[in-house]
């Protein structure tokens, strides 16, 4: 077990990760990626809080990042001050964020020159999974480093899958997120249509739930939308960021991704209309405004 882990990004997902690391006996030094984050619960659980990236780098051999985008990952590692200036040989940087694969490869190369290892280990799941230690991890990087870090991963995740070379974790994560957000976008389009046509939304749910159109996204989102519950588990602006990364990966490999880019266009409109800070399921509100109808029904999914 590592003596101490430096953790950057105790947000919606990161907070649960930190608590599980502490619960498994790790010492954790936490650095907030935003001003004003309340960390009393983490301090109460045993975490040490610092505002110094230099201290994080110098006092921890394993660093974990769980921040919104590659912009924050690059700033944390390459900035002045940044982690790169303080990390010693043999340290490991684990990026739990959903990052741009090209950025991950660049950062891994920079760290490798200093004899520092990097794993990209993006997560699937929601804050409740993070709190329960039941995340899914897809991990890219050197397999020997992955195996060395398995005890850390087992402390926070239920399903741990090694997917291959550096940045492959992020490619797999982006593909998964595209498939989930494609389903979310389809639901957002058709529910206002059903509501305006006068279709019984409970009957619609019951049919799709046992048919080919069903999905985990459908099962989770439709009942929540119908009861107007848009509790944030994944911000729409982060879905927008992920689809912009997915579009960039397509261009990098010269692979056309017309459905990715169509989805990105929809999320462009949703974000510009003020839905960026809402949950991804709030995409339905965009089409409700256009269609002048509200999707609401008691008892759906019960």
Q: CA-to-CA distance for 126 and 232, rounded, in angstroms? A: 10
CB atoms within 10 A of CB 61: 16
* Active-site residue identified among 19, 115, 148, 173: 173
- Active-site annotation holds for 115: no
Element of type H or E holding 80: none
Non-local CB neighbours of 24 within 8 Å, separated by 6+ positions: 155
Enumerate the β-bridge partners of residue 159.
136
Helices 168-197 + 284-291 axis angle, to 10: 30
Q: CA-to-CA distance for 229 and 232, rounded, in angstroms? A: 9
Q: CA-to-CA distance for 45 and 21, rounded, in angstroms? A: 10
Enumerate the β-bridge partners of residue 29.
6, 48
Active site residues: 173
């Amino acid at each position: 077990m590592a003596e101490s882990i430096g953790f950057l990004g105790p947000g919606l997902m990161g907070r649960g990760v930190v608590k599980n690391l502490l619960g498994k006996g790790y010492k954790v030094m936490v650095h907030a990626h935003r001003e004003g984050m309340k960390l009393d619960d983490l301090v109460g659980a045993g975490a040490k809080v610092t505002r110094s990236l230099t201290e994080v780098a110098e006092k921890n051999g394993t660093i974990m990042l769980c921040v919104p985008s590659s912009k924050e990952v690059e700033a944390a590692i390459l900035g002045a001050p940044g982690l790169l200036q303080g990390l010693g040989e043999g340290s490991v940087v684990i990026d739990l964020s959903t990052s741009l694969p090209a950025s991950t490869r660049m950062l891994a190369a920079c760290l490798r020159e200093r004899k520092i290892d990097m794993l990209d280990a993006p997560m699937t799941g929601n804050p409740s999974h993070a709190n329960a230690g039941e995340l899914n991890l897809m991990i890219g990087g050197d397999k020997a480093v992955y195996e060395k870090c398995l005890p850390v991963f087992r402390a926070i995740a239920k399903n741990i899958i090694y997917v291959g070379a550096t940045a492959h974790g992020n490619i797999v994560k982006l593909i998964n997120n595209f498939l989930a957000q494609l389903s979310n976008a389809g639901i957002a389009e058709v529910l206002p249509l059903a509501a305006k046509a006068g279709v019984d939304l409970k009957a619609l749910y019951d049919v799709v739930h046992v048919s080919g159109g069903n999905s985990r996204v459908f099962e989770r989102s439709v009942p929540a939308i119908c009861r107007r519950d848009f509790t944030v588990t994944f911000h729409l602006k982060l879905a927008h960021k992920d689809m912009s990364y997915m579009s960039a990966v397509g261009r990098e490999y010269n692979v056309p991704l017309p459905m990715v880019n169509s989805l990105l266009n929809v999320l462009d409109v949703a974000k510009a209309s003020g839905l960026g800070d809402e949950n991804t399921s709030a995409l339905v509100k965009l089409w409700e405004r256009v269609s002048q109808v509200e999707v609401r029904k008691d008892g759906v999914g019960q």
